[in-house]
Amino acid sequence: MMKNNYTVFLLYLCGGLILSIGAIQIYNLSRFRMFLSDQEMVQALFHFRSTQMLTVFLALLGVSALAARERINMELKRKVYTDVTGLKNKHACMEEMSILDCNDNTLDIGFIMFDLNNLKKVNDFYGHDKGDELILNFALMLRQVLDKKHFIGRFGGDEFIVILRNCSAEGMEDYLRQLEQRVKKYNEGREIVLSFASGYAISTKDHYFLMEDLLKEADKNMYKMKKRMKQGEPQSPQLSKILDADRLDPLNRDPLTGLLNQDAFFCAVKKILYSGRNSLHLAVVCSDIANFRYINDTYGYQTGNQILRRFADELSVQPFCLCAYRLFSDNFAFLADTAELSRDEATELINSWNSYFASTVNREYKASRFVINSGIYFIHNLSETIDDMLNYANIARKYTKGSLQNILVYKEEMDQFEKKKSEILTSFRHALENHEFKVYLQSKVRCADKNVCSCEALTRWEKQDGTLYYPDEFIPVLEQTGDIIDMDFYVYETVFAYLEAQERENRTILPIALNISRIHLTNPADFVRRVRALLNQYPVSPCCITFELTESTYMQDIPSARAFIEDLHRMGFQVSMDDFGSGYSSLKVLKDMPFDEVKFDKDFLLNEADENAQRILLQMISMVKSLNKTIVCEGVETEENVRLLERSGCDIMQGYYYHKPAPLEEWDACLKARRALLPPHR
């Protein structure tokens, strides 16, 4: 623009010069005409004409040199700013936006964003040539529909942008309608069809002073349309062959999320697996939203459903997600495209999307518990059924529950654990009736005089075939099924009966601690009712019983946990906070909860060699002590542990150094034998 003005200015200047030189010469000739002979006059005229011609020639030469330079500049600029589609490239788009940003008036500037649907799938299944063909044709249609004066650019691979000045919403709609019609015509009779999503935004007075904001708004609107298209609202034709299932009857969709249902998903996966592409670059992923119940309970079902829909919408537009379905409630499965990625990279990609999604929801709902857990099964054997593949991914997903990681890749060992788990589930009832669950006791030793002052009841499952299961093998399974409630009450009854017999025989009573699974807190009233019934049946002094609650038992709902502890107190029991320091419990929670005792987790002593860990333990003990709670430290294994705890102010110690858990029947004998005769049990 500037350059054009400059050229016009030069042209005027040259014209002006020629005219003024001519005028001066004419003036001189007329002034001196009477003094000149005819011959001199002819010579003067000749001189005058040649000077004029030379000036005109030089001026023309200069102007054409400038014009040529201008043309070369324009051509270079065109090349730098133009994309293979003939549209402006991203660089040009950004420049256009910064030019518009400098305008005083940004009123009525409109942006339209376009995104081609399923381009990645077309590239993957039909090759990049077909994908390129769609892009070129779409670019052409944009040019045909829109006036030349408008800016049309290709913003990214399958993203296009149109910038209009002095536009209106009606005008925008009209352009889009025309474009739709052209695309429809283009698609007629084609196997690979073109489909796009679009969104626009128009700057209203003083509203958008930055073009970037306008672009974001248009992009957001485009994304909304994409979501609507996914949900099956009236839409442009979809990629026909691969996504047949997508176009099936609405009955084949999940009504809540609009994702495929199981049959449609299996059908889509089968097609992709046998489409001839490299199936070794595919993975089946199962994901679930941890603590989803908390979201439902806290924010209500409507919000819960909204989050599920959003998860489905956002997941299904991720480039790695080829097709997805909701198994049930907050459990989703999808087929992931892992082409050009190593297993680690693919895992990381899915994990970072999970974290991104979870953090967005946490931010919006001011929550912190929202986490996505995923299990991945990398397909390496096409003879596996889709059911098996899903099952493997699901096993890996479930494994994340007991792990610190939110995403795990399926391994064969996990399957073995699952088998063991189903074995536990099928044999549990029979085992309970057959008294296969055994109560073991482990002593608690008073720091001051090293006398055994109480003990803790710990369960073992001794199967009839002689196999021994430790609690960490079966308790998580029983918690999943809810059977833990009956198992715990079996242990409580055994202990109550034992204590009652001790009292009846007038023997010295050692208080016993009982563990409470977090599952009891789902129905605390029932727990209290059943314990009361036990007290009626076995009238023991309740002060001889301490209930131990771990953090996972009470952190989810502190007010009802508090009420629960108060109920236990009213019945005369002691209550202990178990495994303190293993999770997130803070001193504040500790201060507000009416625990009688705090049990420091055994991990504190594991790091005992570390001086900093020692310092922390000592400080923590002194802080908790200031809250007037009895302090117990578990995991005492060595002489050094004992020395450290003696210095710390700890009241009671528990650990292998003194006693390993021993069967109830051997307990008395064991106590007598003390350390020298430790039983060979864990």
Which residues of the shown chain bind ligand C2E in the complex (CB under 6 A)? 442, 458-459, 470-472, 475, 488, 491, 515, 517, 548, 578-579, 602, 634-637, 654-656, 661, 682
Q: CB of residue 576 vs Ca ion: minimum separation in angstroms?
A: 8
Contact between 643 and 656 (Cβ < 8 Å): no
Q: Which of 159, 254, 313, 579 binds Ca ion (CB under 5 A)?
A: 579
Question: Residue 346 or residue 478: which is nearer to ligand C2E going by CB?
Answer: 478
Which tokens go with 127?
A: 């090759």
Q: Which of 515, 553, 614, 654 binds Ca ion (CB under 5 A)?
A: 515
Cα–Cα distance, 534 to 528 (Å, whole number): 10
Contact between 559 and 297 (Cβ < 8 Å): no
Cα–Cα distance, 542 to 628 (Å, whole number): 21
Q: CB of residue 215 vs ligand C2E: minimum separation in angstroms?
A: 55
Q: CB nearest Ca ion: which residue?
A: 548
Q: CB nearest ligand C2E: which residue?
A: 655
Query: What secondary structure, in 3-state letters, does 475-499 show?
Result: HHHHHHHCCHHHHHHHHHHHHHHHH
Burial zone of 659 (CB within 10 Å; 0-12 exposed, 13-18 middle, 19+ buried): buried
Among the residue ranges 459-467, 490-498, 579-587, 673-681, the one whose residues contact Ca ion (CB under 5 A): 579-587
Residues in the chain: 682
Q: 471 is in the binding site of which of Ca ion, ligand C2E, none (Cβ under 5 to 8 A by kind)? A: ligand C2E
Cα–Cα distance, 336 to 283 (Å, whole number): 5
Question: Residue 542 or residue 661: which is nearer to ligand C2E going by CB?
Answer: 661
Question: Residue 159 or residue 601: which is nearer to ligand C2E going by CB?
Answer: 601
Q: 373 is in the binding site of which of ligand C2E, Ca ion, none (Cβ under 5 to 8 A by kind)? A: none
Cα–Cα distance, 132 to 344 (Å, whole number): 30
Q: CB of residue 560 vs ligand C2E: minimum separation in angstroms?
A: 18
What is the per-residue DSSP string for 512-534? EEEEE-GGGGGSHHHHHHHHHHH
Q: CB of residue 579 vs ligand C2E: minimum separation in angstroms?
A: 5
Q: CB of residue 424 vs Ca ion: minimum separation in angstroms?
A: 21
Q: CB of residue 570 vs ligand C2E: minimum separation in angstroms?
A: 22
Residues linked to residue 603 through DSSP beta bridges, in sequence order = none
DSSP type of residue 260: B
Q: CB of residue 408 vs Ca ion: minimum separation in angstroms?
A: 26
Q: CB of residue 462 vs ligand C2E: minimum separation in angstroms?
A: 13
Q: Which residue type occupies 220?
A: K
Residues linked to residue 114 through DSSP beta bridges, in sequence order = 160, 198
3-state secondary structure of 352: helix
Question: Residue 199 or residue 635: which is nearer to Ca ion going by CB?
Answer: 635
Among the residue ranges 19-27, 262-270, 515-523, 535-543, the one whose residues contact Ca ion (CB under 5 A): 515-523
Q: 636 is in the binding site of which of Ca ion, ligand C2E, none (Cβ under 5 to 8 A by kind)? A: ligand C2E
Contact between 312 and 368 (Cβ < 8 Å): no
Which tokens go with 341?
A: 């990625």
Q: 286: closest CA among 148, 410, 471, 127? A: 410
Question: Residue 245 or residue 549: which is nearer to Ca ion going by CB?
Answer: 549
Question: Residue 259 or residue 445: which is nearer to ligand C2E going by CB?
Answer: 445
N- to C-terminal Cα separation, the chain: 86
Question: Residue 335 or residue 455: which is nearer to Ca ion going by CB?
Answer: 455
**How far is CA 370 from each of CA 312, 393, 527, rounded to the nearest angstrom?**
16, 21, 29
Contact between 85 and 75 (Cβ < 8 Å): no
Which tokens go with 485?
A: 């409630």
DSSP type of residue 545: E
Q: CB of residue 638 vs ligand C2E: minimum separation in angstroms?
A: 9
Question: Residue 286 or residue 540: which is nearer to ligand C2E going by CB?
Answer: 540
Binding status of residue 651 toward Ca ion by CB under 5 A: no
Question: Residue 81 or residue 656: which is nearer to ligand C2E going by CB?
Answer: 656
Q: CB of residue 431 vs ligand C2E: minimum separation in angstroms?
A: 14
Non-local (6+) Cβ contacts of 279 within 8 A are: 272, 273, 379, 382
Q: 488 is in the binding site of which of ligand C2E, Ca ion, none (Cβ under 5 to 8 A by kind)? A: ligand C2E
Q: 412 is in the binding site of which of ligand C2E, Ca ion, none (Cβ under 5 to 8 A by kind)? A: none
Question: Residue 649 or residue 679: which is nearer to ligand C2E going by CB?
Answer: 679
Side-chain-side CA neighbours of 353 within 13 Å: the count stands at: 19
Q: CB of residue 552 vs ligand C2E: minimum separation in angstroms?
A: 10
Q: 663 is in the binding site of which of Ca ion, ligand C2E, none (Cβ under 5 to 8 A by kind)? A: none
Among the residue ranges 59-67, 217-225, 271-279, 570-578, the one whose residues contact Ca ion (CB under 5 A): 570-578
Binding status of residue 548 toward Ca ion by CB under 5 A: yes
Question: Residue 322 or residue 519: which is nearer to ligand C2E going by CB?
Answer: 519
Question: Residue 158 or residue 488: which is nearer to ligand C2E going by CB?
Answer: 488
Q: 615 is in the binding site of which of ligand C2E, Ca ion, none (Cβ under 5 to 8 A by kind)? A: none
Binding status of residue 288 toward Ca ion by CB under 5 A: no
Tell me the pairing of strands 597-600 and 630-634: parallel
Q: CB of residue 492 vs ligand C2E: minimum separation in angstroms?
A: 8
Q: CB of residue 627 vs Ca ion: minimum separation in angstroms?
A: 19
Q: 83 is in the binding site of which of Ca ion, ligand C2E, none (Cβ under 5 to 8 A by kind)? A: none
Q: 299 is in the binding site of which of Ca ion, ligand C2E, none (Cβ under 5 to 8 A by kind)? A: none
Q: 93: closest CA among 27, 160, 31? A: 160
Non-local (6+) Cβ contacts of 193 within 8 A are: 187, 237, 238, 239, 240
Which tokens go with 519?
A: 């599952």
Q: Which of 288, 483, 578, 597 binds Ca ion (CB under 5 A)?
A: 578
Question: Residue 294 or residue 656: which is nearer to ligand C2E going by CB?
Answer: 656
Edge-to-edge strand list for the sheet holding 371-378: 321-328, 331-337, 282-290, 371-378, 407-409
Q: Which residue type occupies 652?
A: I
**How far is CA 571 from each of CA 543, 547, 560, 566, rounded to the nearest angstrom?**
9, 12, 17, 9
Q: CB of residue 594 vs ligand C2E: minimum separation in angstroms?
A: 20
Question: Residue 161 or residue 487: which is nearer to Ca ion going by CB?
Answer: 487
Question: Residue 75 or residue 603: which is nearer to ligand C2E going by CB?
Answer: 603
Query: What secondary structure, in 3-state letters, does 567-621 show?
Result: HHHHCCCEEEEEEECCCCCCHHHHHHCCCCEEEECCHHHHCCCCHHHHHHHHHHH
Q: CB of residue 553 vs Ca ion: minimum separation in angstroms?
A: 11
- Which residues sit at the interface with Ca ion, rule CB under 5 A? 515, 548, 578-579
